[in-house]
Structure 1
Amino acid sequence: MTYNLNRWQGYGHDRLYVNAGSRKIGWIDLKTGRVKVTSPAGWPSPIEGMVQQWLASNGLGHLRVKLKPRKRGDEITTQEFLDRIDRSRDDDQQPAVALSIKSQRRRSNAGTDLAKNRAGSAAYAAAQERSTWWRSLGRAMGMRTEDQAWRIGAEGEQIVARTLQWARLRGWRVLHAVPVGARGSDIDHVLIGPAGVITINTKHHSGQKVRAKPEVVFVGGAAKRYGQAAQYEANRAAKLLTAAAGRPVTVLSAVVIVGAKSVRGSRSAGVEIMPKSHLLVWLLFRRRTLSRTDVDELYELARRSTTWQPS
């Protein structure tokens, strides 16, 4: 087996990545000495010697490598690391330090894992909170009620999420219903991929004519400030991700219209306004701005609920 050691520096991090061919084994934080294992098979024993040789040749021989704790508070030194590997080799078993991807993610993520959120879940929860017996009666009589509006919004988000599934095939990572702050706000979709970070605001306007103008978006003749709201959302996301990453993170925004009879115009307040049918093409043909490693790093930060809760 051929192992590769690659140093990566970015977003305030300095890491040594270990790969077996194209398969990722894990990485070492060259600032703290912490080790993260991402391979289900664990940390192969031949790696330790290679890592120590690399550290010595790059002026980092003094680094005290620490294993990611198996239990809270448990931390081991490099020598203990070597001893465990030796014992596991003698027993012809996997190293005792091996961790599964699932358990590793559980330890590495702070707060709730937002990757588990379903599209439209926040809007549907808002609909449930607003549902009353008399609003149910109103819906039965054909009236448009407040909780029904939230349900329609949730359906729109689910429709857009199905389109975004195809974007995953081209390297995009997607989060849905991302809660921001303590006042019940959320971002419908956060995308992190080759072309950067994008927040998407979904609007469900079944059968309506939509026209984007420089300052407002007209929906059936009614003026909506969709562009300004989406830009505020993107700016807020950029501020929070920048704080979490330790370096500037640029976030773009877009408003995706679902179910409209027609959508004319493409921008409002500097924000892209588009029908759902244009979304996939718009994503796939954007210029690459992030490496695969950058995408992975930002996604790991974005999926933590604590990233979106300003201190």
Structure 2
Amino acid sequence: MEDVLTVRRWRRYGADRLYVTQETGARVGSVDLQSGEVVVDDPHFESGLRRAAQAYLRADVAELAMSLPTQSTGSLAPADEAALQAWLGGADWDTIDLAAIRSERGSSLRTRLERLGDEGWQVVHDVPLGRQGSTVEHLLIGPAGIFTIAERLLPGQHVVVEGRTIAVDGRSVSYLRDARLEATRVQGALLAAACAAITVRGVVVVHGDLEVRTVQPQHDAFAITRQDVQAVFRAMPERLDPGRIAAIAHVARQRATWSH
């Protein structure tokens, strides 16, 4: 048999917590994401609460349901307990290492992009665009072309794309427009650096609840979820051969390319 724990995030009035419940709705406990305090309402599920909270923080979901083997006591098997202690950073379980988790979550998109390297893609991070301090988060160059990529962390918020516009919880935002402008600037810099006949598209990667109501224009900026990053780029038609990809990536890694 298995117990199923559900993790939901609650953010109101300056508070930011994870609440963990059983299938019946009974509360297991909570984790304060600001202080790191862990409150256990059901000691039988203490290790499960911590494991579920860790899994939630490392995932790209609004809500997480996690199955745990049913045990007669609140403790794990010795081997599992040792592994979980190592996972949480030692024998002291009073807090969860939130800084380490946030660091890993922050690099999640970076990791996903770099994994495309096995399929002929190259990625340049933190491109210094111009002399005004602007930075392109990620520049992806590969078989399907060249893309500027900016991530927007919007967990728990409803993001709607309709045509060339994007709104967050009903409020219009400039993410797609900004992506278009950024792509245009990058394209101009690469053209000036002798990368002839290229096109750059802007991409907004959303970490949140994304709804695309209309087909996004084929050559315009577009929005996708973080979970779909690899699948979307893999599915695109091939436009650049390996030699061209390598040459453009070489130019993109030169600081002089972006200093104008």
TM-score range, shorter chain: 0.5 to 0.7
2:199 counterpart of 1:250: yes
Cα offsets for 1:274-301 (capped at 9, x unmatched): 1111111111111111111111111110
Structure 2 residue 212 is matched with structure 1 residue 264: yes
Q: 2:232 aligns with which of 282, 286, 302?
A: 282
Equivalent of 1:297, from 247, 250, 254? Answer: 247
Instruction: Work out whether 1:201 is the aligned partner of 2:201.
Output: no
| 1:107-186 matches, cutoff 5 A | 142=14, 158-186=107-135
Cα distance, 1:270 vs. partner? 3.0
Q: 1:293 to 1:270 in 2, by over 3 A?
A: closer
CA contact (8 A) 2:139 2:149 kept: yes
Pairwise CA RMSD of aligned residues? 2.8
Query: Cα deviations across residues 182-236 of structure 1 (Å, max 9, x unaligned)?
Result: 1111111101111111111111101111101224211112111211110111111
CA contact (8 A) 2:126 2:136 kept: yes
Question: Separation in 2 of the partners of 1:263 and 1:182?
Answer: 36
Alpha carbons 2:139, 2:146 under 8 Å: kept? yes
Q: CA deviation at 1:261?
A: 3.2
Between structure 1 and structure 2, the one with the greater Rg is 1
Q: Secondary structure at the match of 2:136?
A: strand
The answer as to whether partners of 1:157 and 1:188 remain within 8 angstroms in 2 is no
Give, as a single letter, the amino acid of the residue that structure 2 aligns with 1:288: E
Matches within 5 A, 1:23-172: 142=14, 158-172=107-121
Q: What is the alpha-carbon distance in structure 2 between the residues aligned to residue 304 and residue 233 of structure 1?
A: 18
- Which structure shows the higher strand fraction? 2
Distance 1:156 1:235 in 2: 29
Three-state SS of the structure 2 residue aligned to 1:175 is: strand
Q: In the alignment, residue 247 of structure 1 is paired with which amino acid? A: A
Deviation, 1:169, is: 1.1
CA distance 1:267–1:209, shift in 2 (3 Å): same
247-256 vs 202-211, greater mean Cα deviation = 247-256
Check conservation: 2:195, 2:248, Cα contact below 8 A.
no
SS for the counterpart of 1:267 is coil
1:306 paired residue number: 256
Please give the TM-score of this superposition, normalised by the length of structure 1.
Answer: 0.48
* Structure 1, unpaired ranges of 5+: 1-140
Aligned-partner residue type, residue 263 of structure 1: E
Does the Cα contact within 8 Å between 2:143 and 2:242 map onto a contact in 1?
A: yes
**In 1, distance between residues paired with 2:104 and 2:206?**
12
Partner of 1:224: 173
Contact persistence 2:202–2:220 (CA under 8 A): no
Which of 183, 200, 203 is residue 234 of structure 1 equivalent to?
183
**C-alpha distance in 1, partners of 2:130/2:247?**
22
Identity across matched positions, percent: 28
Q: Secondary structure at the match of 1:217?
A: strand
Shift of 1:246: 5.1
More displaced 10-residue stretch of structure 1: 269-278 or 237-246: 269-278
Whether contact under 8 Å (1:156, 1:202) holds in the other structure is no
- Residues 240-281 of structure 1 show CA distances to partners (whole Å, capped at 9, x for unaligned) of 0011125232112211101x1343336389321111111111
Name the amino acid aligned to 2:253.
R
- Residue 220 to residue 250, structure 1, CA distance change in 2 (3 Å): same
TM-score after normalising by structure 2: 0.57
User: In the alignment, does 2:140 pair up with 1:191?
Assistant: yes
Amino acid corresponding to residue 303 of structure 1 in structure 2: R
Q: Does structure 1 retain, via aligned residues, the 8 Å contact 2:141–2:249?
A: yes
